[in-house]
Amino acid sequence: MEDRQQVPMGDERKVVSTGGLAIDGAPLSYIVILAAVVTALAFIPFSVVIFAGGSFPLSQAVLSLIGWILGPVAGAIASAIGTLVGVIVAPHTARVWIVSIYGAAMISFAAGTMGGKGKRRGWWILVAAISLLSLAGYVGMAILANGAPVISVALGAFLDWSAVLLFILPTRLLVVRWIGSQNVAKLAAGLFLGIWITYGIGHVCQSVIYYWIQNWPAEVWLTIAPIIPVEMMVRCVAGTIIGTGVITGMRKIGLVRPAEAVY
Amino acid sequence: MGWFGLLKPFTKRCYLSESDATIIRFAKVSYQYPHSERFALQNVDFSIRQGEFIGVIGPTGAGKTTLCLALNGIVPQFYGGRFFGHVTVAGQDSVETPVRNLARSVGEVFEDPETQLIATSVENEVAFPLENLGYAREVIKERVAWALRAVGLLGLEKKHPGSLSGGQKQRLAIAAAIAVRPKVLVLDEPTSQLDSLGACEVLETLVALNQNHGVTILMVSHSVERIAALASRVFLLLDGNLVTQGTPREVFGQSDLLARAGLRLPETMEVFRHLALRGQFAGPLPITVFEGQAALRNWRLKQSDLSSQPPATGHSDNSEPWIDLHQVSFRYPDGTQALKGLDLQVRQGDYLLLAGQNGAGKTTLVKVLLNLVRAQAGKVMVAGEDIRSVPVSTLARKIGYVGQNPDTQIFTASVGEEVAFALRTLGMDKSEIEQRVKPGLEEVGLGELIDRHPFSLPKGDRARVVIAAVLALQPEVIVFDEPTIGQDYAGARKILDLTKKLHRSGKTVIVITHHLYLMREYAQRMVVLNDGAVAMDGSLRDVLAVGESLGRFGLEPPEAVLLAESVRREGQSCPILPGELANHLVPPDSRTA
Amino acid sequence: MAFMDRTVQTSFIRDLDFRTKLVWMAAIMTISLLWNAPLLQLGLFGIVLVLSLVARISGRYLTMVLGFMAPFTVFLIVMHGLFNTVQVQRLMGGAELTWLLRFPADWAVIGGRGATLEGLLYGANVALKSVTLLLVLPLVVLTTDVDEMLAGLIQMRVPYVVAFILSSTIRFFPLLFSEAQGIIDAQRLRGLAIEKMNFLKRARIYAGTAVPLILSALMKSQQLEIALYSKAFSISPQRSNYHEIKFQPRDAIVIAWGVGTLAVVLYLYMQFGIGQFTGIW
């Protein structure tokens, strides 16, 4: 069919583009869709939780990714609402629902603050402060109130303190650089490390509350010491597989990149 | 009553208002999307009067969707880009008036029912635009009831949209669009994803809105027969240009133009065009089946045995069935009895068309055949083996399945990887896989796209990626589930030509579709499912020859068959193709037998 | 999914305003978190259970939830019973613990350890607390229409956009869930023998399912956005609400009762230590 391109005969109009509906630079439709993804994946059990039985859902592997895609505010909203809906639909799947939602929001928020630019450069400090306080409360209760040996707590809370430490150190900037890289190996490494860090921050923020409620004795710390890192590795692997596929896919398909995205 | 009842009384298209009130004006409109060199619309110029029913046709990429979005300001306000000319709707300029305000005058309904329904219940969906525009609660309540009554969904207020049928979903989208009582309703392919009954429900609603409430309608559709029957005027778009407009007879009368655009004529018109070329018919060509039936009064069919003409069954009836379902029954956990003692045999080398309305059991039949679900009664044998003990993944090497939605069948990051996925499951090594991937893609015309991400391709190409990936397993039987949905005529033929190629290479092909008119040059055999059992099973010709009676199974026979039925006598073979029918029609004054 | 078309059973609790139920939920959760006395926790758990039955929450559902929690609660009781001596003793002001079972001191690892009555009671307290905190949510969510929940949030001045995202998530997640199932089925139909795979490989497959799910969902999101625009949606607060919930006189009474109960509990806890862990009580 011949090309029928013509010269426009009408007057050119001044177009003021409204752009899309957005929250904090992230398309509202992305937030809705990713919140729905979190809810949907909450019903797909991914792995067995060795500590205390049950299984953990696939949604836990995407919470950090949502923060890196949507940014801290939009990411936290999407993760929180997705988790909330999951809890509304199946209330029995949350231990303490408000803590689950808080944890999900913290994971995404922490992830989103890692790449803060301009006025947001200092947002990570807020996350660091909250997680440090939580860590202090968590280990403080264990050692001071329950007499748990320091070494046991150090081993049992390895995920938590390592995550907070790595978040505070410039490692978080390295993670952001790797996630923004076009090199797939670096992207994967950045995702793996980033998920460890952000999930660990979410974990400590939740654990301080769960510990206050459930107060497990000193001996339990040694029991959980080998278990939690193993579970966490599984989450990191799953999250890396998903994150690598999604980020490379978004780049290749040419999907709109939210303003606060780090990839 | 269905589709046919819809057409019968619609003999005169009249404006509800006889005034010259122009409701839409497109004045030399051109539009270029951001980052695009081409113009999606080029100097489009037309006016639409209040109460008109406009049909818009054109091949994929012609600019139909852009035209629809220009009417409510989304083009250009949402996308940006370069805009030339003026679009005025109900006195409002579409560039200067915010989209939110234009939404009071223009309701839009889109092709995909899922992504345009946003609320948690039917009533909330209808209330949503009214809430957005700040209507008072009492008014919202009244409008919700009015809109649901207008589309026939009263009583379903509390239902979740996800639990509605396709036709109900689109009617709900229409209800939401008309709740603000817009002057104009724009529908972009509203029935392309629906079966015949669903489409009929939607079109009946539109006719009622136009005739009873004076709503101006602009509808994009690939179905030229429906446009011919319903529209007061037709616009033909090609490469962003409005190349012609006029009454359906005027537009469809330009057969050369339509051919250049890759479009077909309404089938009735096609038949009479053949007759006219032969000098057997003079005067304006009928464009609807009812006009055609009226014009064929006193005509008759030649005595001729068409049973040996294609499509005839191509295998010996004595061969052992390759697929044998015997008295298969299946009930879902919610109690729905989807299959009831179903018997079906498929032989090697068959090309089978499986048809039936939604709920007839087609999807369940396929799930049982693929062993995704287990029948509670009966036996399913494939290649002489009871499939109950065969894992799904093993059976997949015998029966390939290409589903309706390609996006749920794409798992990898490149087209090549997608084909390699199945080869890996066969245990092939890397070099063997590399050798097989490119030829596999070339077979479906995607050889150059090996490194592309599947999701970066248009939908039609994504469907072909899935076909290539399924074919990699070299199954004996391939099931295509609604492969032509959402495709224009050229796109649908491309996919069906591929099925023909596979059939000629010795594969057994099963196509599930309600687009019966497309299948006449492909399928040899037709099975109609109804209420969980086989209602009809025979050669495609014999089953289609039943004609209007297929309506009781929710199926829409091709117009050529309906025309033939009006002149056929008992015992006569039934032509099923337009050219075939024209060859067999005998005018009233002819003495030929 | 069944949740979407569920019918909320009529009951006194169902008829209460959503906000009233939230106040009660907050009160029950606060009390449960505050108390460490096993018998009081048992009483509170019993009250929540009775309220659930009064609210006509299905017995099957309650059995499912309790069954789901059973291993965890047993674990909590045993863990505290066997290991929690330091903290329990501190809570009891250094009092001697009642040993129910004690392993000989010369046994390796577990020598000198055993089960204490107080430990078991403390474990029971924690277990009951966990179950109460879990059960109180269905008491609100399963007795409230989704429309009323959203209306309640809006009337509580939660930003409309948050309520909108919540509502849209409820709308879309069943679609995505069934697409996820479809993706897994499609992989099996492409020859992938998931059922024969070990845990690690299967986990990898499930993880891979999320990628096309997310990508195709994001691709559809632009159409969603266009549909929103076409329906005059904006993030501006200038909109009306179809659904509305109104306080009835009984809501005021019930809220006052809830707040009052919480106040009394706090007072008794702080003044007299009622609810603190002291062994049986």
Taking the C-alpha atoms of residue B325 and residue B344, their distance in angstroms, rounded to an integer, is 5
C214 and A62 within 8 Å at the Cβ level: the answer is yes
Q: Which of B557, B569, B577 is nearest to B299 (CA)?
A: B569
Give me the domain span that covers residue C157.
151-230
Residue type, B384: G
Contacts of C146 in chain B (CB under 8 A): 120-121
CB contacts under 8 A, A 119-148 vs C, are 145-147
| DSSP of chain A | ---------SPEEPP------EETTEEHHHHHHHHHHHHHHTTSEEEE-STTSSEEEGGGGTHHHHHHHH-HHHHHHHHHHHHHHHHHH-GGG-SSHHHHHHHHHHHHHHHHHTT--GGGGGHHHHHHHHHHHHHHHHHHIIIIIT---HHHHHHHTHHHHHHHHHHHSTHHHHHHHHHT-S-HHHHHHHHHHHHHHHHHHHHHHHHHHHHHHH---HHHHHHHHHHHHHHHHHHHHHHHHHHHHHHHHHHHHTPPPPTT---
Q: Rounded to whole angstroms, how far apart are CA atoms C84 and A232?
A: 27
* pLDDT at position B109: 96
Please indicate if any CB of chain B lies within 8 Å of the CB of A20. Answer: yes
3-state secondary structure of B29: strand
Kindly report, residue by residue over C3-23, the tens digit of the pLDDT.
555 557 778 888 999 999 999
Residues contacting B324, CB < 8 A, separation 6+: B344, B345, B346, B379, B380, B381, B382
Contact (CB, 8 A) for A197 and A106: no
For the record, the structure tokens of B246 come out as 């006029």
Residue keyed to tokens 């240009």: B241
- Can you tell me whether residue B37 is helix, strand or coil? coil
Are B201 and B171 contacting, i.e. CB atoms less than 8 angstroms apart? yes
pTM of the model: 0.91
Q: Give the whole-angstrom CA distance, residue C147 versus residue C150.
A: 5
Cβ of B409 within 8 Å of Cβ of C186? The answer is: yes
* Domains contained in chain C, number: 2
Compute the nearest-CA separation of C248 from chain A (Å): 25
- C194 and C90 share one domain: no
**Which residues of chain C are modeled with pLDDT < 50?**
1-2
Q: Between B and C, how many CB-CB pairs are < 8 A?
A: 182
CA distance A1 to chain B (A): 8
Among the partner-chain residues C126, C204, C222, the one whose CB lies closest to the CB of A214 is C126
- Rounded distance, CA C21 to CA C33, Å? 18
- Average pLDDT over chain A, rounded to an integer: 90
CA distance linking residue B310 with residue B76, whole number of Å: 50
**A163 CA: distance to closest CA in chain C (Å):** 23
Residue of chain B whose alpha carbon sits nearest to that of A246: B413
**Structure tokens that stand for A98 in this block:** 């408000």
pLDDT score at A115: 83
ipTM over 0.95: no
Residue type for C1, please?
M
Q: Is residue C5 part of a domain?
A: no
CA-to-CA dists, residue C95 to A144, B165, C280, angstroms: 19, 68, 13
Calculate what percentage of chain B has a pLDDT beyond 70: 94
Q: Across the interface, which of A10, A14, A17 has its CB nearest the CB of B29?
A: A10
Question: Which of A96, A130, A136, A90 is CA-nearest to residue A113?
Answer: A130
Tell me the per-residue pLDDT of B257-297, one tens digit each, with 9 for 90 and over.
Answer: 999 999 999 999 999 999 999 999 999 999 999 999 999 99
- Count Cα neighbours of A199 within 13 Å in the Cβ-side half-sphere: 27
Q: Specify the range with the lowest mean pLDDT, choosing from A16-20, A102-106, B221-225.
A: A16-20
Tell me whether residue B535 is exposed, middle or buried, using C-beta atoms within 10 angstroms of its C-beta: 0 to 12, 13 to 18, 19 or more.
middle
Tell whether the model's pLDDT for residue A51 goes beyond 80.
Answer: no
Tell me whether C233 touches chain B (CB under 8 Å): yes
| pLDDT of res. A1 | 45
Three-point CA angle C218, C222, C225, nearest 5°:
120
**Torsion angle of the four alpha carbons A8, A11, A16, A21, in this order, in degrees rounded to the nearest 10:** -50
**Predicted confidence (pLDDT) at residue B15 exceeds the cutoff of 60:** no
The per-residue pLDDT for range B182-223, each reduced to its tens digit, is: 999 999 999 988 888 889 889 999 999 999 889 999 999 999
Angstrom distance (rounded) from CA A60 to CA A41 = 8
Residue C250 lies in a domain: no
Whether C17 and C135 share a structural domain = yes
Ramachandran angles phi, psi of A189, nearest 5°: -65, -40
Judgement on whether residues C125 and C225 belong to the same structural domain of the protein: no
Counting Cα atoms < 13 Å in the Cβ hemisphere of C210 gives 36
CB-CB under 8 Å, A17 with B413: no
- Counting as contact any 3 or more CB pairs under 8 A, the partners of C are A, B
Residue B81 φ/ψ, nearest 5 degrees? 85, -165
Q: Are residues C63 and C121 in the same domain?
A: yes
| Residue B269 to residues B217, B232, B250, B288, B291, Cα–Cα distance (Å) | 24, 17, 12, 7, 10
State percent of chain A over pLDDT 70.
94
C45, part of any domain: yes
> Which residue has tokens 């702080």?
C270
Domains of chain A: 23-253 (1.10.1760.20)
Mean of pLDDT values over B340-350 = 95
Q: What is the pLDDT of residues A158-186, one digit of tens each?
A: 999 999 999 999 999 999 999 999 999 99
**Rounded to an integer, what is the distance from CA A77 to the centroid of its chain?**
12
Angstrom CA distances, B44 to A7, A13, B167, stand at 12, 15, 32
Reported confidence tier of residue B425, pLDDT bands at 50, 70, 90? confident
Q: E strands along B316-420, which residues? A: 321-331, 337-347, 351-355, 377-382, 385-386, 399-402
Q: How many CA atoms lie within 13 A of B91 on its CB side?
A: 4
**Is there a contact between B198 and B358 (Cβ–Cβ < 8 Å)?**
yes
Q: Can you tell me the distance from the alpha carbon of A258 to that of A30, in angstroms, rounded to the nearest whole number?
A: 9
> Given an 8 Å threshold on Cβ–Cβ distance, is C207 in contact with A47?
no
Contacts of A153 (CB under 8 A, 6+ apart): A139, A142, A143, A221
User: What's the distance, Cα to Cα, between the start and end of chain A in Å?
Assistant: 41
Residues C30 and C119 in one domain: yes
pLDDT for the residue numbered B317: 60
Same domain, C80 and C59: yes
Examine the pLDDT at A111 and tell me if it is beyond 70. Answer: yes
Q: Name the nearest CA neighbour of C14 among C112, C132, C143.
A: C143
Structural domain B266-310+322-398+477-486+510-593, CATH architecture: 3-Layer(aba) Sandwich (3.40)
Nearest Cα to Cα of residue A87 among A39, A146, A129: A39
Kindly report the three-state secondary structure assignment for every residue of C207-263.
HHHHHHHHHHHHHHHHHHHHHHHHCCCCCCCCCCCCCCCCCCHHHHHHHHHHHHHHH
Measure B287 CA to nearest chain A CA, in Å.
27
Residue B382's contacts (CB-CB under 8 Å, 6 or more residues apart) are B322, B323, B324, B369, B390, B395, B398, B399
Contact between chains at C240 and B140 (C-beta distance less than 8 A): yes
Tell me, yes or no, whether C185 and C208 share the same domain. Answer: yes
Q: Averaged over B441-445, what is the pLDDT?
A: 88
B87 phi and psi, to 5 degrees? -120, 120
For residue C42 the two structure tokens come to: 């048992």
Determine the pLDDT at residue B318: 62
Q: What is the pLDDT of residues B48-67, one digit of tens each?
A: 999 999 999 999 999 999 99
Interface check for C194 against chain B (CB to CB < 8 A): the answer is: yes
Kindly state whether residues C34 and C140 are assigned to the same domain. yes
Q: Please, which residues 423-482 of chain B have a Cβ atom closer than 8 Å to chain C?
A: 425-426, 455, 469-470, 473
Nearest to B563, CA basis, from B549, B550, B576: B576
Using the Cβ of A247 and the Cβ atoms of chain C, whether some distance falls under 8 Å is answered with: no
pLDDT at C3: 56
Residue A75 and residue A34: Cα distance in Å, rounded?
9
pLDDT at B584 over 90: yes
Report the residue of B37, B83, B411, B462 to disrupt the A interface, i.e. the one with the largest count of A CBs within 10 Å: B83
* Domain annotation covers residue C114: yes
Nearest to A134 by CA among A169, A108, A99: A99
The token duo for C45 is 């758990």
Would you state the pLDDT for residue B11? 40
Q: Which CATH number among 3.40.50.1980, 3.40.50.2300, 3.40.50.150, 3.40.50.300 corresponds to the domain B2-7+20-260? A: 3.40.50.300
* Residue spans in chain B of domains classed CATH 3.40.50.300: 2-7+20-260, 266-310+322-398+477-486+510-593
d(CA B88, CA A13) in angstroms, rounded, equals 13
Q: Other C-beta atoms within 10 Å of B42: how many?
A: 25
Contacts of A227 (CB under 8 A, 6+ apart): A50, A51
Q: Are residues C127 and C164 in the same domain?
A: no
Helices A28-41 and C160-188, packing angle to 10 deg: 50
Interface check C109 vs A, CB under 8 A:
no
Per-residue pLDDT at B21 exceeds 80: yes
Same domain membership, residue C175 and residue C52: no
Interval A203-214: pLDDT, tens: 999 999 999 998
Report yes or no on C248 lying in a domain.
Answer: no
Through-space distance between the first and last CA atoms of chain C, rounded to whole angstroms = 44
Residue labelled with tokens 């809570």: C91
Pull the structure tokens for residue A105: 């929001």
pLDDT, tens digit (0-9, with 9 covering 90-100), for B232-257: 999 999 999 999 999 999 999 999 99
Higher-scoring residue by pLDDT: C9, B481: B481
Query: Is the domain of C156 the same as that of C78?
Result: no
Put simply, the chain A residues between 149 and 188 with a CB less than 8 A from any chain C CB are none
How many Cβ atoms from other residues are within 10 Å of residue C39's Cβ? 14
| CB-CB neighbours of C73 under 10 Å | 17
Does C237 map to a domain? Answer: no
- Residue C249 placed within a domain: no
Q: Which range is least confidently modeled, A13-17, B363-367, B502-506, B521-525?
A: A13-17
| One domain, residues C132 and C268 | yes
Q: Which residues of C touch B397 (CB under 8 A)?
A: 191
- Residue A186: its pLDDT value, please? 97
Q: Answer whether residue B8 shows pLDDT above 50.
A: no
Which chain A residues touch C176 with a CB distance below 8 Å? 36-37, 39-40
